[in-house]
């Protein structure tokens, strides 16, 4: 069972938020707390991340099954990047568990880029003498430094990421599995206007799998749209979910 952080009253409608690669439930704390006025927000650490169990596999069927274990009724589901792909597979495999689906800045396609350079950078950090997160960030990519450092346990001198498995499974993470059928429920593909993760060329395959999908972009935001434009992201979620 995944480690989860919850916010709000359990009697409210449930909202599940699935984070992206190298992320954690903590990344969503501010938005989750603000949304907890209307929803019971459940933020899991995905497998091989945070305080959740480590496994030898990291594919979207497994990630979707992990999320399904947290749901016992139709639920609002939001997923960003890797979490968005997991949420899409969840909706395609278990449509009865989804009320509405929001996919943040990702498409159900295979991308050509890899994210292993961040694994190399994290491995290269000598954690033995690190007393503060800022010390470990000197050699990390400035664009994602603060984000990656949230997965550093300074006290234990370790990353809370299963770097070996994430590296081995990277082709599956940047890919997307072949699935039959479609999710007919309301779906919003919410993207950063400055991001190239969801292009018009992908809309055909999106519509095949999610025929009721709608599209929106947040001006001034890139791939990390929820961190770059948190209030606008929150407003878009509220408008769609209600």
pLDDT tens-digit series, residues 60-119: 999 999 999 999 999 999 999 999 999 999 999 999 999 999 999 999 999 998 899 999
| pTM given for the model | 0.96
Sheet holding 14-18, edge to edge: 4-7, 40-44, 14-18, 75-80, 98-104, 187-192, 213-218
Per-domain residue ranges for the chain? 4-111+165-241, 116-164
* Of 181, 185, 186, 180, nearest in space to 216 by CA: 186
Give the pLDDT confidence score for residue 129 in this predicted structure.
87
Q: Exactly one of 7, 49, 223, 226 is catalytic; which is it?
A: 223
Q: Exactly one of 120, 126, 164, 196 is catalytic; which is it?
A: 164
pLDDT tens-place string over residues 141-171? 888 888 899 999 999 999 999 999 999 999 9
208 given a catalytic annotation: no
Beta bridge partners of residue 49, listed in sequence order: 161
Whether residue 137 is predicted with pLDDT greater than 90 in this model: the reply is no
pLDDT tens-place string over residues 183-201? 999 999 999 999 999 999 9
pLDDT tens-place string over residues 9-30? 999 999 999 999 999 999 999 9
Q: How far apart are CA 167 and CA 141, in angstroms?
A: 18
134 given a catalytic annotation: no
Q: Exactly one of 81, 151, 195, 213 is catalytic; which is it?
A: 81
Query: What is the rounded average pLDDT of the residues 196-208?
Result: 96
Q: The domain 4-111+165-241 belongs to what CATH superfamily?
A: Alpha/Beta hydrolase fold, catalytic domain (3.40.50.1820)
pLDDT tens-place string over residues 118-135? 999 999 999 998 998 888
Give the pLDDT confidence score for residue 149 in this predicted structure.
93
Burial 202-219 (b: 16+ CB within 10 A, else e): eeeebeebbeebeeebbe
Give the pLDDT confidence score for residue 157 in this predicted structure.
94
24 given a catalytic annotation: no
Give the pLDDT confidence score for residue 165 in this predicted structure.
98
Q: How long is the chain? A: 242
């Amino acid at each position: 069972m995944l480690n989860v952080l919850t916010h709000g009253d359990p009697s409210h409608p449930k909202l599940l938020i699935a984070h992206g690669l190298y992320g954690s439930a903590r990344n969503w704390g501010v938005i989750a707390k603000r949304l907890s006025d209307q929803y019971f927000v459940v933020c899991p650490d995905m497998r091989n991340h945070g305080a959740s169990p480590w496994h030898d596999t990291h594919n979207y069927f497994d990630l979707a099954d992990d999320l399904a274990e947290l749901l016992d009724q139709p639920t609002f589901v939001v997923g960003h990047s890797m979490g968005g792909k997991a949420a899409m597979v969840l909706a395609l495999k278990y449509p009865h568990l989804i009320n509405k689906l929001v996919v943040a800045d990702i498409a159900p396609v295979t991308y050509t880029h890899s994210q292993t350079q961040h694994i190399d950078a994290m491995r290269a950090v000598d954690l033995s003498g690190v007393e503060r997160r800022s010390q470990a960030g000197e050699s990390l990519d400035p664009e994602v430094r603060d984000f990656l450092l949230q997965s550093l346990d300074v006290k234990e001198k370790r990353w809370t990421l299963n770097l070996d498995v994430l590296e081995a499974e990277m082709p599956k993470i940047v890919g997307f599995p072949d699935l039959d059928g479609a999710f007919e429920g309301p779906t919003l593909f919410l993207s950063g206007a400055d991001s190239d993760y969801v292009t018009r060329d992908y809309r055909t395959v999106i519509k095949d799998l999610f025929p009721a999908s709608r599209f929106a972009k947040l001006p001034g935001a890139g791939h990390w749209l929820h961190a770059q434009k948190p209030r606008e992201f929150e407003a878009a979620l509220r408008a769609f979910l209600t």
